[in-house]
Structure formats: structure tokens, C-alpha cells
Amino acid sequence: MAEGLRFAALGDSVTEGLGDPLPGGGWRGWAALLAGSLPDASFVNLATSGATTLRVLDEQLPSALRFAPTMASVVVGVNDVLRPGFDPRAIEDRLDSVVGTLCASGAVVLTARMPDAGGMLRLPGALRRPLSRRTDALNEAVLAVAQRHRTVHVDLADHPAVADRAAWHVDRLHPNERGHRVVAREFAGALAVRGVPILRMPSAEPHGGAKTRPFEHAWWLATKGTGWMIDRGTDLVPYLMGLAAREIWTAISPRRRMRRRVASGGGPGWASGRSPGGASGGPAGERPGGAFGADPGARAGSREG
């Protein structure tokens, strides 16, 4: 891979580089920083804002294969987590297709365990918990694919930078330049362990990006960020409230049924020997997988900034 390395980056706005602006406009991001640390590398960034695993499979993978990469990154899934209809089995299947196809073409593939979106957004506990479980399910799916195909896999979820406000863009969902450099360095270190030559480690200190001042953060929030928050306010938050309400009802409904049976003299058990939750042993009406199952009837999700 030392000669003629070809690096294709697939994913969503994090890989696109949002949060790491260039002086002339546009984004740089961790993938471009990583590419700069590789000797004689050709680089293409196919990541797009709002991309889900389905879009990566349908739209980005064909372009990546035409580029014929010897190395590719597939860092995606947060948009799946933030949308109704979340299905971790479908996510794993799509990621398996993307990663498996790239590996079969001869590329070394990079994957990552992602931080908890609910924690990054500092949501209240009742809203954060369902989102956190979805993130856990996403990371389990990614890990299964990573182990199956022996990808270069890094853990970004428990990195100290996650708790460092200085590493995050104003929206709390994207790294700023410092945060993008953390991601680039993590991948560079993991690639070096795998035997991929690293020309130089990406610098940990901001360099070469656009200098952002406090009023520019406020301007971004007032212009672009406002639309993103309106979308989230009219779509994500009500949906998470629904998940939270369902979680609360799942917790209290078995106790309500138990109290009714005891009050009627039925005792704590079922005459048939079945558990209070029905044949499956879980709360009545709950699908296998709980909050991780698909959500029929939920309306389509909003854009991801």
C-alpha cells in the first residue's frame, strides 16, 4: 500500500468535514487530514451531509468502487439513529454489504464506534436513554461487521475528547478542527499498528483551517443552525418523547396488570404458567428488540446538518 495508495472516504457530515472549515470555504475534516499523513495518496471524499447507511450503500459505494480504492473509511449511522424506523438488523446488513464489497475489492476498510448522540446533545434523561440504546445497538452492528471483515476499527465513543467541549462544533454533534484532528490521529495510529505506512502523524494542534471566532459561532447558529434546530424541534424531539413515553409505559404496565390480578384474587401468576408479559416473557405488545425495532407509522425523519 506504500505505492499509489488510493483512499476513499464514505459516510455522513462528520466524514464530510462539517465543523472544520477551510479559509476559502467548504470543509476539510478528519479524512482529509488523515489522507495528508499517508505517503503518495490519492484521496476522494464521497461523504455527504445527512447520509444514512442506505444512502452510503446505494449512492456512495458505486462511486467508491469506480475510484478503485486500496483504503476506504465507512463511518456512518448517526443519522439512522436520529430517525424514525430505526432497525439495527437492517443497518448491520447494509454495512456488511458496503464493507464486505470494499474488502472483496482489495481495500483496507476503516470503521469506528461512535459517541452517544443523546449525551452529546445533553438531552434530558428520559429523552437521552432511548437514543443511547439506539447508539449502543448501532455500535454493536458496526462491531459485528468490523470483526467479520477485520477492519481497522477505532473506539471514538469513550475517547477523552468526547467530554472536552473544546473539541466540538457549536452544534455538539460534529467535531471542530481540534476534534477532527483527534479522529485523524486515532485512525493513523491504528493504521500504523496494522502495518500501513504513515508519513507523519496528523498534528493535534489546529493548523491550516479557518479561524473561527465566537461571533462566527453565533452567526452559524443564527443562520444555518436555526434551520437544523427547527427540524429537530418538530421531528426528532416529539419522536424521542414518544419513545420515552413508550419506555415508561413498558415499565409500569406489568405492575398495573399484576395489581389488577392480585385485587381480583388471581394471584401473582397465570393459570397457564405464562409470564405476565405473555409467551415471550416481555411486556405485552412489545416487539423483540424493544425500542430497537422498526417503528411503523412514524413519519419520515428530517435532515441532518
Average pLDDT over residues 255-261: 64
Average pLDDT over residues 103-119: 90
Digit-coded pLDDT (tens) for 17-52: 988 888 888 899 999 999 999 998 999 999 999 899
Q: What is the CA radius of gyration of the chain?
A: 22
pLDDT-based confidence at 77, cuts 50/70/90? very high
Element at 152 (helix H, strand E): strand 152-155
DSSP designation for 77: -
CA distance linking residue 107 with residue 7, whole number of Å: 9
Cell numbers at residue 269, please?
401468576
Residue in 79, 115, 116 with CA at minimum distance from that of residue 94: 79
- What's the helix, strand, coil split of the chain in %, to 5? 50, 10, 40
CA distance linking residue 17 with residue 163, whole number of Å: 20
Digit-coded pLDDT (tens) for 217-228: 555 555 554 455
Residue at grid coordinates 462528520: 14
pLDDT of residue 216: 54
Average pLDDT over residues 192-214: 83
The proportion of the chain whose per-residue pLDDT surpasses 70, expressed as a percent, equals 59
pLDDT of residue 275: 40
pLDDT-based confidence at 96, cuts 50/70/90? very high
Which range (1-15, 102-116, 141-155) has the least confidence? 1-15
Average pLDDT over residues 158-170: 69
pTM of the model: 0.72
For the chain, what's the residue count?
A: 305
Digit-coded pLDDT (tens) for 58-71: 999 999 999 999 99
Which carries the bigger pLDDT value, residue 12 or residue 301? 12
Q: Cβ-count burial of 71 within 10 angstroms (0-12 exposed, 13-18 middle, 19+ buried)?
A: buried
Which carries the bigger pLDDT value, residue 267 or residue 290? 267
Residue in 151, 173, 174, 166 with CA at minimum distance from that of residue 204: 166
Q: At residue 274, does pLDDT exceed 50?
A: no
3-state secondary structure of 102: helix
Angle, CA 115 vertex, CA 235 and CA 210 arms, to 5°: 85
Q: At residue 283, does pLDDT exceed 60?
A: no
pLDDT-based confidence at 281, cuts 50/70/90? very low
Cell numbers at residue 287, please?
416487539
- The average confidence (pLDDT) of the chain is 77
Residue in 109, 110, 113, 44 with CA at minimum distance from that of residue 78: 113
